[in-house]
Structure 1
Amino acid sequence: MAEESKHREPQVTLLTRQGCHLCEAARQTVHRVTSELGLGFHEVDVDEHPDLKARHDTEIPVVMVNGEPKDFWQINPKRLHKILAKELGL
């Protein structure tokens, strides 16, 4: 079995909300990093999901990888790249 086949594509989710001044910068950062690695991401408005809002209301935006929060407020592109590269086995 090839080494890369042991790793599955990480699921990247960006939690945002309307009117969030940090969300646009986070969106651009997550898009840039995921694009560099050939990945996509999903964006979720926490105000439409009570469970997510209850957990992350004061931390928006939040980037999650495989359902786990990895960074919030100002998303660090180097850290996100490192996390995703590790998930990909790079």
Structure 2
Amino acid sequence: MTARVLLYGKPGCHLCDDARAVISRVCAALDESFEERSIEGDPELTSRFGEQIPVTFVDGRQHDFWRVDEQRLRLALSQPPPQGG
């Protein structure tokens, strides 16, 4: 099963820590999974997201950056994932 939530961040980022806590709480409550990827050491990801981390994707679409709104994330995850690919 592929995680519905993907968090891009990097070590030492306090906003990433805050986002991870919200995502962990929401995903645990809704029995969903999430993955986390560091942009550190990846020039493409750093160029794309470097000024916006943390960046959150839900079902492959950018959902939030800088801060994760718990209610907005719950709402997004209450919708069924898109079919196909």
Amino acid at match of 1:30: I
Q: Which has the higher helix share?
A: 1
Asked if structure 1 preserves the Cα contact closer than 8 Å seen for 2:8 and 2:36, the reply is: yes
Asked if structure 2 preserves the Cα contact closer than 8 Å seen for 1:62 and 1:71, the reply is: yes
Query: Which of the residues 12, 21, 24 maps onto 1:28?
Result: 21
Q: How many residues align?
A: 82
CA RMSD of aligned residues (A): 2.0
Residue 35 (structure 2) pairs with residue 49 (structure 1): no
2:6: which partner in 1? 13
Percent identity between the two aligned chains: 35
Name the CA distance, whole Å, in 2 between partners of 1:65 and 1:49: 21
- CA displacement 1:7-57 (0-9 Å, x = unmatched): x97621111111111111110000011111101100100113332222111
TM-score under structure 1 normalisation?
0.79
Name the CA distance, whole Å, in 1 between partners of 2:63 and 2:18: 16
1:3: which partner in 2? none
Amino acid at match of 2:46: K
Structure 1 unaligned runs (5+)?
Answer: 1-7
Structure 2 unaligned runs (5+)?
Answer: none
Structure 1's consecutive aligned runs of 4 or more residues displaced over 6 angstroms after TM superposition are none
Q: Is the radius of gyration larger for structure 1 or structure 2?
A: 1
